[in-house]
Structure 1
Amino acid sequence: MSRESGRFTVLHLSDVHATESGLLYDAVDGIGRMARVGDYASAAGVTPEAVVVTGDLVQRGHTAAYPAVADACRGLAEAMGAPVLTVLGNHDDPAAARALPGHGERHYGSNTIDGFRIVRLDSHTGALDAEQTEWLAAELAAPAEHGTVIALHHAPLGSPLPALSRQGLAHPEALLGILERSDTRAILAGHFHHPLTASVRGIPVFVAPSLAYQQVMNAGPHAVAGHDAPMFSLVQFTGEGVTSTAVPLAAPDPLFTRPLDPPLFHSRQKANHVS
């Protein structure tokens, strides 16, 4: 927990879709965008306690991109001064993904950071197997000091978009049954390529937007389409609750820019320092 702000901040990225060479859809450099997140966050004064990337680290079939993704994770960790934790998505290859930091033995696990337990789950098949749910139940049997954050690719619910309404985690009941009896404070997920905030059995669920492309909402009930609008999220935990904010990596030019009154600016800066 940040001593300065009283917040525990997670920089939440998802759906990078890195490629072996060239640009995805002739526009998207997933590796480069990971570096841009670090530059953006540093310039904004964001100092997270952890960075979580919830899957689809590479585009399907681009297994040779994993070493570059691993280097990008290390670079982001150095830029943020915080560990980078990753989980696998449906585009990821479990064999090739062993090149990623923290994935040498298995693709799920637990990390404790400043009293928060961050649990990484592997839903690259679209579901969780019995081995993981058994491990999870044992892991959560004892509470963490400040609670638990669950990270996986597939959220335990569907998207409100008709074409994605059945694209959540398959058979989520086993997972939710474990979590509702635990100290879980939030579930972080991806996969939908649009931000989503929900509550399932009293547990907040935050689906991050995609770093690669966002869903076009009016593409129709039988189609999916994406537009180039990379985004990430800031998830902040306090003693009172949790919030999630989607942040565009690229934005139109501002309509106006004006300086704040210096005394007001400095007082707000001290009161609202982002950890």
Structure 2
Amino acid sequence: MSRATGRFTILHLSDVHATESGLLYGAVDGIARLERVGDYARATGITPEVVVITGDLVERGNPGAYAAVADACRRLGTRLGAPVLTVLGNHDDPVAARALPGHESGHVSAERVDGVRVIRLDSHRGELDAAQLEWLTDELAIPAERGTVVALHHAPIGSPLPTLRSQGLSNADALLAVLEGSDVRAILAGHFHHGLSAQLRGIPVFVGPSLAYHQVMDAGPDAVAGHDSPMFSLVQLSDDGVVASTVALHAPRPLFTRTLTHARQEATHVP
């Protein structure tokens, strides 16, 4: 599909925060929201080459939720006909997470999908250890056919929110030093619960919003506020570059509805 259209599509999900029982904050069912992403993709005709989930798969203290998350990832992959790759976040338990597909023997890997290399890194401690950085250096020494995408939980940049400003990857400079000049076309991350894009040393960085709850920017300098507004991202690679779009699972009340013909006329200023 990506070679025919010229676009390699990544369904980028993050921060599921699944629980063993009950609803997170009395409202959030992480497993159900994974299912809804599949519903949305099927209904809209989105056909991703790969699904990437950038960490916090379960809520801290809920190791028993990994079995349900694993099953949900398998179902999502089957429905969309695409591999589902996951990385660990600060809420994740690296031992219990071995129940997840692809984590049985470790949490770091390089996967090839239609010529694109997707590298999974483990930043559940908020940093990348020396062994990972050494492995990454060796892996990137040979370029992939269509470039590389790096996925990890902690972005190599801080959030503009005062309370999250220091919550990025603690050794971001070490990671960027390894990636600079390589074939890496994008870095995908999560953790902030709000979308963020940047360009660091020539590499686009996309922080995906959360499926669990959205962090608003006006909570004040000493607070964070989670709103029930689950979102995910579409990231597309092409020969011209890379773009990312945010998709909300909860639809706000529409202000208007117009036909496609009317919308096109307005866009081209046709009276």
- CA distance in 2 between counterparts of 1:35 and 1:210 reads 15
How far did residue 7 of structure 1 move?
Answer: 0.2
- CA distance in 1 between counterparts of 2:261 and 2:233 reads 29
Following superposition of structure 1 onto structure 2, how do residues 240-251 of structure 1 map, counting pairs within 5 Å? 240-251=240-251
- CA distance in 2 between counterparts of 1:11 and 1:255 reads 28
Q: For residue 180 of structure 1, what is the aligned residue in structure 2?
A: 180
Deviations 1:237-266 (A, max 9, x none): 00000000010011123233333349x8xx
Q: For residue 95 of structure 2, what is the aligned residue in structure 1?
A: 95
Following superposition of structure 1 onto structure 2, how do residues 3-152 of structure 1 map, counting pairs within 5 Å? 3-152=3-152
- CA distance in 2 between counterparts of 1:227 and 1:260 reads 32
- CA distance in 1 between counterparts of 2:216 and 2:115 reads 39
Q: For residue 268 of structure 1, what is the aligned residue in structure 2?
A: none
Deviations 1:109-140 (A, max 9, x none): 01000110000000000000011011100000
- CA distance in 1 between counterparts of 2:4 and 2:198 reads 29
Deviations 1:47-88 (A, max 9, x none): 000000000000000000000000000011011110000000
How far did residue 4 of structure 1 move?
Answer: 3.4
- CA distance in 1 between counterparts of 2:260 and 2:20 reads 45
- CA distance in 1 between counterparts of 2:39 and 2:4 reads 22
- CA distance in 2 between counterparts of 1:70 and 1:18 reads 11
- CA distance in 2 between counterparts of 1:55 and 1:34 reads 13
Q: For residue 218 of structure 1, what is the aligned residue in structure 2?
A: 218
- CA distance in 1 between counterparts of 2:153 and 2:252 reads 29
Q: Taking structure 1 as the reference length, what is the TM-score of the superposition?
A: 0.93
- CA distance in 2 between counterparts of 1:149 and 1:261 reads 37
- CA distance in 2 between counterparts of 1:224 and 1:256 reads 32
- CA distance in 2 between counterparts of 1:256 and 1:50 reads 34
Gaps of 5+ in 2: 265-271
Q: Following superposition, which runs of at least 4 residues in structure 1 exceed 2 angstroms of deviation? A: 253-262
- CA distance in 1 between counterparts of 2:221 and 2:87 reads 29
Q: For residue 269 of structure 1, what is the aligned residue in structure 2?
A: none
Aligned residue type for 2:201 = R
The answer as to 2:207 corresponding to 1:207 is yes
Q: Taking structure 2 as the reference length, what is the TM-score of the superposition?
A: 0.95
Aligned residue type for 1:213 = Y
Aligned residue type for 1:55 = G
Aligned residue type for 2:177 = G
Partner SS, residue 4 of structure 1 = helix
- CA distance in 2 between counterparts of 1:29 and 1:261 reads 38
Partner SS, residue 32 of structure 1 = helix
Q: For residue 157 of structure 1, what is the aligned residue in structure 2?
A: 157
Q: For residue 272 of structure 1, what is the aligned residue in structure 2?
A: none
Moved more, 175-184 or 228-237: 175-184
Partner SS, residue 90 of structure 1 = coil
Partner SS, residue 185 of structure 1 = strand
- CA distance in 2 between counterparts of 1:220 and 1:260 reads 40
Partner SS, residue 3 of structure 1 = helix
